[in-house]
Structure 1
Amino acid sequence: MRQIFMGIGILAGLAACTPAEDAQMPHVWTTLNGQAPLVIAHRGASGERPEHTLEGYTLAIEQGADVIEPDLVMTSDGVLVVRHDHYLSTTTDVADHPEFADRRRTQGDQTDWWVEDFTFEEIRTLRARQPWPQRDQSFNDQFLIPTFEEVLDLAAAHGVRTEPEVKVPGHFAAIGLDPLPELVRILRERDLDGADASTSIQCFEPEFLARLDGEVETPLLMLVFPMIELDPTADPLTPTVALADAAGFADGVGPSKSLIITPDGGDTGFVAAAHALGLAVHPWTFRDDVPVAEGVDVETELRQVYALGVDGVFADFPATALRVRSEMSGD
């Protein structure tokens, strides 16, 4: 185990004080490091701009996000570009490019355009689109698809952390586009390969993170979801990777919200169990415009998970997560 993810905020462990003094004291957070939980701009300020664009990340930074999150996929010529999916139809204007009509093909049970069939130069001719129909569509077809290195440049210029997710690395490796060597090269060239790096790498595939753990000291985040989604007979609170196993190569876990909190706001014990193993907890995903449960809005949900001691939250609308955190801090 290397170092715990760095946070921001006010140290806990405050001494006892009089009631008058207590009214002036900051909120005591129960995160691993005693600091306020990180607000991670999920795909940028993706609720307000097309996801994974420099413009969306910039808006999140302007709003005060502590971390920006790029998802990484690889082009046919080995460039790490930023998209949530390795298919392109939902988040780009690829269907409007007649020159790419013959690139559409079936892979698995989906017919689409796939990033691994495009060179970086070709990807640069595409423009980003907002995939959520209820969100602002007025910025469609304006913004480029950035590279990982461009996002790192932006983050460095503004002094914020990054938390990139490597998408389906096993698939890319199987077709001869293993993302690990290029990722390691970029991390090393930018001095982001140490335990104190201003970035941390996340992935749903434990094999990839275990390999990466052998190459760099960069903090790693194991993404997990309920095993019941793969095995209907599984306990709903069993994660896809056991916490004890994740602790062998990762510094934190990124669980689906349903693993840490019940529909009525109850504590499942996941956060405490992860903390006992020294694992930071960054749950996903908090969205202002997606119903949480009857009578529960996203602000209530954020207060509930902040109270559990999570170390960070992935939010499509980072301004909301920041505001709720500030209110709880008494700022």
Structure 2
Amino acid sequence: MKRWIKLGLMMLGFGGGEMTASADVSGVSSGPIVIAHRGASGYRPEHTLMSYKLGLQMKADYIEPDLVMTKDGHLVARHDIYLSGTTDIADHPEFADRKRKLEGHDDWFVFDFTLNELKTLKAIQPRPKRGDVFDGQESIPTMDEILSLMKAAKADGSKAGLYIEMKRPALFKKVGLDPTVALLAMLKEVTGAGIPVYFQCFDGAYLNEFVGKTDAELIWLIEGKKDRKSKSYVLEAPLALYGTNVDGVGLNKALLLGPEGKPTSIVDDAHALGLDVHVWTIRNDQVPKGIRSVEEELKLLFSLGVDGVFADFPDTALQSRDSFMLLKAGPADD
């Protein structure tokens, strides 16, 4: 992988030392968007108001809340349907009997709890190496609370948008909690408030239910699968499967590099279909094998033409984006 990555970086002028972002980028396009993944989740427990606030302070272009639904029909922010990884639920003996096995996972599940019950839990950092300094300080936020935060930020001059994901809609429907009506009402309120918004889901068929019913940009999330022969990630379905109904695709970054790290054509293929390409997830503390730093990884992705990146550490992604755009723009005219 290294030889292909190094070649690509050298061709774009990244073979030497690291660039730093200029304080003055006037006249330079803002370039690819930076999405604060679960907020500034590299620094704070994910999907907490403090994480979203930090992402806004860092000037991320979008804040990403993942949504699930409570037993009594409220949209709340969690990445998973289970609760043990990101909350202190194991320390609540009153909920011990709610633990059960589902899909081979023995845990507590969000749709077995009312909003009032969930509000007694406190958020924790799911990645131990990131520290526990901010554990136990905040509860699980509702989508209403997140929207209030964004409205307040907009009133203070923020131009940041929301990049909202619905998790596991088919499963929620199966347990009698269809989130569609609530999501449509929420998206209408977001757009009505003048806040830019994307709506994303791994379930492309579910996204089809929103076509023509919302002004939100629709993004089909794609993980792909590992090819047995090449060991590289490949598509499980063609980009065009839902490409005529959505505005873009959110790609697993592994799909952008084929065997030995050679770039694939997936970004160009998506662009040919008129789709934006946003890739996930960039983490300062989890750089892919064969890449020397997260800055190098970001510059490689930008050089491949992506339209946006999901980043746990949005400040790093923003700095790298601005450096890339300055270099791309070339020297200023005298």
- Shorter chain as normaliser: what TM range? 0.7 to 0.9
Q: Structure 2: 5+ residue runs without aligned partners?
A: 1-23, 328-334
Using a 3 Å threshold, how does the CA distance of structure 1 residues 304 and 323 change in structure 2: closer, same or farther?
A: same
Higher mean displacement: 242-251 or 255-264: 255-264
DSSP-derived class of the 1:282 partner? strand
Contact 2:230/2:259 (<8 A) preserved: no
Tell me, yes or no, if the aligned pair for 2:45 and 2:51 is still in contact at 8 Å.
Answer: yes
Which of 222, 225, 232 is the aligned partner of 2:220?
Answer: 222
3-state DSSP of counterpart to 2:90: helix
Q: 1:263 to 1:321 in 2, by over 3 A?
A: farther
Q: CA deviation at 1:212?
A: 1.5
Superposed displacement of residue 236, structure 1: 4.3
Look up the match of 2:136: 141
Instruction: Judge conservation of contact 1:163–1:199 (CA < 8 Å) in 2.
Output: yes
SS in 2 for 1:254: strand
Q: Distance in 1 between matches of 2:145 and 2:253?
A: 30
Following superposition, the deviation at residue 128 of structure 1 comes to 0.3
* Counterpart residue number, 1:171: 171
Where 1:142 maps in the other structure, the secondary structure is coil
> 2:322 maps to what in 1?
326
Check the 8 A contact 1:287/1:298 in 2, yes or no.
yes
Runs of 4+ that moved beyond 4 A? 24-29, 232-237, 262-265
| Distance change in 2, residues 1:236/1:263 (3 Å) | closer
- TM-superposition CA deviations, 1:136-165 (whole Å, max 9, x none): 211001111101122122223223101111
Contact 1:88 1:114 in 2 (8 A): yes
Contact 1:197 1:218 in 2 (8 A): no
Residues 296, 128 of structure 1: CA spacing in aligned structure 2 closer, same or farther, 3 A cutoff?
same
Residue identity in the other structure for 1:205: D
What amino acid does structure 1 have at the position aligned with 2:36?
A: A
Correspondent of 1:124 among 119, 125, 128 = 119
- Compared CA separation, residues 78 and 309, structure 1 to 2 (3 A): same
> For the structure 1 residues 314 and 174, does the alpha-carbon distance in structure 2 shift closer, same or farther, using more than 3 Å as the test?
same
SS at match of 1:181: helix
1:251 aligns with 2:244: no
> Does 2:203 align with 1:205?
yes
Pairwise CA distance, 1:189: 3.5
Aligned to 2:181: 181
Q: Do structure 1's residue 152 and structure 2's residue 150 form an aligned pair?
A: no
**Where in structure 2 are the equivalents of 1:263-278 lying within 5 Å?**
266-278=262-274
TM value normalised by structure 2: 0.83
The alignment covers a number of residue pairs equal to 299
1:151 alignment partner, SS class: helix
Instruction: Report matched runs for 1:297-316 at 5 Å.
Output: 297-316=293-312
* Cα distance change, pair 139–197 in 1 and its aligned pair in 2 (3 A): closer
Cα distance, 1:97 vs. partner?
0.8
1:311/1:119 CA distance change after superposition, 3 Å? same
RMSD value, Cα:
2.4
Q: d(CA) in 2 for partners of 1:263 and 1:140?
A: 40
Task: Give the equivalent residue in structure 2 for 1:19.
Answer: none
Q: How far, CA to CA, are the matches of 1:296 and 1:192 in structure 2?
A: 44
- Alignment pair present for 1:260 and 2:256: yes
Tell me, yes or no, if structure 1 residue 59 matches structure 2 residue 54: yes
How far apart, CA to CA, are the structure 2 residues paired with 1:208 and 1:76? 21
3-state secondary structure, aligned to 1:240? coil
Whose strand proportion is higher, 1 or 2? 2
CA distance in 1, matches of 2:25, 2:87: 48
Contact 2:67 2:165 in 1 (8 A): yes
Secondary structure of the 2:281 match is coil
When residues 233 and 213 of structure 1 are mapped into structure 2, their CA distance, relative to the original with a 3 A threshold, is: farther
Partner residue in 2 for 1:32: none
After superposing the two structures, state which structure 1 stretch, 214-223 or 256-265, moved more. Answer: 256-265
Partner of 1:8 in structure 2?
A: none
Distance 1:233 1:205 in 2: 27
1:4 aligns with none
- TM-score for both structures, normalised by structure 1: 0.84
Could you tell me how far 1:301 is from its partner in structure 2?
A: 0.7
Secondary structure, aligned partner of 1:273: helix
